[in-house]
């Protein structure tokens, strides 16, 4: 049975939309990923099974296909039900990856993907969100090692009773200080303007959470002309927000006053029914945290709903207020087909993922007991040096 016949994707014919030239250009703009991918493709990994749960996008192709070329069994599922690029999913399925990802997944279909991917043992698990690692732990599978890449996943994984070593690359400097701080906002605000047709000049923006992602989103919004408020429970981060030129407000006050509200915490249930009812009329709700439940979309769906245009829904609440939700509450910066600028910015992180999986496949975690560890610092430095050389 081929990977294509057991994959759960939207349409296998979509694979034809990705050409050799498309992938060749990606190698040009992501040279470090290409370097490590070409190395891995020449390895002999026929005895390895790699299971990944991540955003299934075009940049997933050069991350996973080298392991297929090396002979490994590779499976992937979508870590977010609304970020899948169906073209990329079809291409992966047509080229040897078992894919469980398609746009518009229902919660039951999403849960089924986790169950399928964790049904059999694997040598390596690469996760974004912690749900796949959690499933492997609960099912008692023995794994050589696992990788976790998100704040949401760290919150989930660190509570587990580990049965294998898990390595955290969400908190390494390259991910935390570069991607979370700068790159999410670099993509998110252009996508916002593409989706809504709005510029930020003079608009009031509330950012909920002033961690690395929220900080970057707030800074970029201010630089684009927005009047930025921040709701942050941690007093140290709130003070930091003031020093970045943001107005610190109570969540309730920010909701009543601001025209655009962005959740950036990584936690579920940040904006529930009570909070949404407080929001000003016509508010635009956006999420850039990994969890697609930071905004209570399930409750919003019980209200009168109108699809305005692609990625914009209007909800008329019982009190007569109208609120607008973008991309079903999933990460706006990864809305399929609406990508912002700077695709090359994914280069270090695709390389970190490839290098981390290869490190595990080479026995890198063999001396580690079950537990939660930092991603190897020497491997991170190696990636940073390679990126610096690619820029010279």
Tell me what pLDDT residue 341 has. 61
Query: How does strand 49-54 pair with strand 124-127?
Result: parallel
Is the pLDDT reported for residue 340 higher than 70? no
pLDDT > 90: percent of the chain: 85
> What does the CA dihedral 356, 358, 361, 364 come to, rounded to 10 degrees?
-50
Q: Do the domains 181-330 and 3-171+342-391 match in fold?
A: yes
Tell me what pLDDT residue 184 has. 86
In this structure, the number of other CB atoms found within 10 A of the CB of residue 225 comes to 11
Over residues 130-179, the pLDDT tens digits come to 999 999 999 999 899 999 999 889 999 999 999 999 999 999 888 887 87
Check residues 184 and 196 and name the one with the higher pLDDT. 196
Over residues 358-388, the pLDDT tens digits come to 999 999 999 999 999 999 999 999 999 999 9
Average pLDDT over residues 235-254: 97
In this structure, the number of other CB atoms found within 10 A of the CB of residue 366 comes to 10
Output b/e per residue, 29-53; b: 16+ Cβ within 10 A: ebbbbbbbbeebeebebeebbbbbb
Please report, for the chain, the start and end positions of each structural domain, with discontinuous segments joined by +.
Answer: 3-171+342-391, 181-330
pTM assigned to the model: 0.86
Tell me what pLDDT residue 339 has. 61
Tell me what pLDDT residue 336 has. 74
Average pLDDT over residues 34-48: 97
CATH match of 181-330 with 3.40.50.1220 = no
Average confidence score pLDDT of the chain = 94
CATH match of 3-171+342-391 with 3.40.228.10 = no
Average pLDDT over residues 269-283: 97
Average pLDDT over residues 111-116: 96
Is the pLDDT reported for residue 266 higher than 90? no
Tell me what pLDDT residue 345 has. 82
Average pLDDT over residues 84-99: 97
């Amino acid at each position: 049975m081929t990977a294509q016949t057991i994959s759960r994707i939207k349409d296998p014919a979509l694979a034809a939309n990705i050409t050799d030239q498309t992938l060749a250009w990606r190698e040009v703009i992501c040279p470090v990923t290409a370097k490590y991918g070409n190395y891995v493709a020449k390895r002999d990994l026929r005895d390895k099974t790699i299971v990944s749960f991540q955003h299934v996008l075009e940049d997933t192709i050069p991350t996973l296909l080298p392991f297929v070329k090396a002979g490994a069994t590779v499976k992937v599922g979508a870590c977010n039900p609304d970020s899948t690029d169906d073209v990329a999913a079809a291409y992966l399925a047509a080229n040897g990856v078992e894919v469980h990802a398609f746009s518009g997944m229902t919660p039951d279909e999403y849960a089924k993907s986790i169950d399928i991917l964790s049904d059999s043992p694997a040598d390596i698990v690469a996760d974004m969100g912690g749900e796949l690692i959690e499933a492997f732990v609960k099912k008692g599978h023995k794994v050589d090692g696992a990788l976790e890449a998100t704040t949401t996943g760290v919150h989930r994984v660190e509570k587990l009773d580990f049965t294998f070593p898990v390595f955290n690359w969400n908190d390494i400097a390259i991910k935390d200080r570069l991607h979370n701080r700068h790159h999410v906002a670099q993509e998110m605000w252009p996508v916002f303007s593409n989706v809504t047709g709005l510029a930020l000049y003079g608009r009031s923006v509330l950012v909920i959470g002033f961690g690395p992602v929220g900080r970057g989103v707030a800074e970029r919004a201010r630089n684009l002309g927005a009047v930025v408020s921040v709701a942050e429970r941690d007093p140290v981060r709130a003070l930091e927000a003031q020093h970045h030129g943001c107005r610190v407000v109570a969540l309730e006050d920010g909701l009543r006053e601001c025209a655009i509200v962005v959740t950036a915490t990584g936690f579920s249930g940040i904006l529930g029914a009570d909070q949404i009812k407080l929001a000003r009329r016509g508010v635009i709700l956006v999420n850039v945290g990994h969890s697609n439940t930071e905004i209570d979309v399930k409750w919003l769906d019980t209200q009168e709903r109108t699809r305005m245009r692609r990625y914009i829904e209007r909800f008329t609440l019982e009190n007569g207020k109208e609120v607008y939700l973008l991309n079903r509450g999933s990460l706006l910066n990864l809305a399929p087909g609406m990508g912002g600028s700077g695709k090359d910015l994914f280069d270090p992180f695709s390389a970190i993922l490839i290098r981390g999986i290869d490190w595990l496949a080479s026995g890198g975690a063999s001396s580690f007991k079950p537990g939660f560890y930092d991603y190897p610092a020497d491997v991170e430095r190696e990636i940073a040096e390679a990126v610096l050389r690619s820029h010279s």
